[in-house]
Amino acid sequence: MAELKFGQTIINSQELNGALDEVRFYHRALTVSEIQTLATAPATGSAPAITVQPVAQTIEAGQTATFSVTATGSPLTYQWLKNGVAISAATAASYTTPANALADGGAAFSVIVSNHLDAALSSSAGLSAQLRSFAALFTPEEVAAGDTGISDDFDSDGLRIGVEFLTGTDPRASTSASSIQTGTHFEAGAEYLELTYVQDLNVNASGDVQVSGDLQTWLSGVPNTIVLSDQTLGNIRTVAVRDCSPFAGHARRFIRLQVNIPAN
């Protein structure tokens, strides 16, 4: 190991003629803020120690995630890292990500807690961004040859001809009240898709609520879906159906109403 001397170089053999006060050695380069702290504060405090590590987060794509750390020591500064790279302006005890896309899934977040005495690097906390999507898709069968396809939407009100036929609304006149409602339901910590539709019992048509995870295979009935309510008032029938499989474990989940109209 080379001998350490102050005020001396290979070219200039003159040594320091004086005394040094509060000599400190660091195993890393200090940040500008740490140097400023050293210059303005006495050599007091205690080295940082992380007591609560950041925790992994699972969010839906487009949402934010918040990571936090708890540490002892004083004074403390923080620098958050994403995949080992410092995040600009992320210098607090917690860090909230921007709204994330699916591409952010798998990113690892950690934080350096430091002061003029030492630095501590936290463990990495992963971020999982999942797509929680649903759609009401109307894919009825075709009517008899030569007739208009019931997938069309002549009045551009968002309801296709087959759906309006099923629900008893005029396919030639725009209607603002949707007879198909989709949403989600939370129960026992899990989230499920739901679909409610209205049927006009005067028409010769039927509806079948189906669920899918890939838009390829569609399933309905027990054990795939459950009827929450089925009420009839006059000639109007209102049916509410829920997907039996929660979002957890699915990258994508869809629900639709299959409209079946017998051929003439």
Q: Where are the domains of the chain?
A: 32-130, 161-260
What pLDDT does residue 142 have? 29
Burial class (CB in 10 A: 0-12, 13-18, 19+), 77: middle
Q: How confident is the model at residue 229 (pLDDT cuts 50, 70, 90)?
A: very high
pLDDT for position 159 = 54
pLDDT above 50 (res 141): no
Instruction: Return the pLDDT at 153.
Output: 54
Tens digit of pLDDT for each residue in 110-125?
999 999 889 999 999 9
DSSP-assigned letters across all residues of 118-142: -EEEPPPEEEEEE---------PPP
How much is the CA Rg of the chain, to the nearest whole Å?
32
Per-residue confidence band for 249, with pLDDT thresholds at 50, 70 and 90: low
CATH number of 32-130: 2.60.40.10
At 190, the pLDDT band (50, 70, 90 cuts) reads confident
State which of 34-43, 53-62, 158-167 shows the largest mean pLDDT.
Answer: 53-62
In the three-class reduction of DSSP (H, G, I as helix; E, B as strand; rest coil), residue 168 is classed as: coil
Instruction: Specify the CATH number of the domain 161-260.
Output: 2.60.40.10
Q: What average pLDDT does the segment 76-82 reach? A: 96
Evaluate whether 32-130 and 161-260 have a shared fold.
Answer: yes
For all residues of the chain together, what is the average pLDDT? 76
Give the predicted TM-score (pTM) of the model.
Answer: 0.44
- Of 28 and 2, which is predicted with more confidence? 28
Handedness of CA 208, 211, 217, 219 (dihedral sign): negative
Residue 138 has pLDDT above 50, yes or no: no
Which whole number is the average pLDDT over 245-262? 75
Q: Which tokens hold the place of 67?
A: 């990571």
> CA torsion 36→42→46→49, rounded to 10°?
0
